[in-house]
Amino acid sequence: MHSFESAVEESGMTGARAGMVRPDISGCITASLRCQASCEASMARLLSEGHPADSDIVRLLRQCAELCELNARALQKDSRLARRTASICFELGSQVARTAWLDSNASSAGLARDALFLARACRLMLFAT
């Protein structure tokens, strides 16, 4: 007879549904939500400064915010696609962090920090067993 814990382990569930979220998943969810908020705030700032909505930087921030939200939801729902969304978040978070770091605006430092935090959290999740 199998225990509930072994059934969860055998099914490949990460624990999100079972109420036992692994630290790497919890960290990735937190980082995703934090980065989403930073991207949305930075996007609003750029738009208020007169940047066009279809500019490369605004589009990058919009994509990052939307993907961060999708990633958090996929992880919370224990989706089979969660590792894929985390992988893309790792790539996009790294790109946003680099872009924000190179920006001369002081308010971009927070975005760079949050995007780097996202990339690190997602990377940890990708290589967890």
**Structure confidence by residue, pLDDT tens digits, 74-121:** 999 989 999 899 999 999 999 999 999 998 888 899 999 999 999 999
CA dist 47 and 118 (Å) reads 24
Q: Percent of the chain at pLDDT above 70? A: 81
More confident residue, 46 or 123: 46
- For the chain, domains (ranges, CATH) are 22-126 (1.20.1270.360)
CA dist 40 and 49 (Å) reads 14
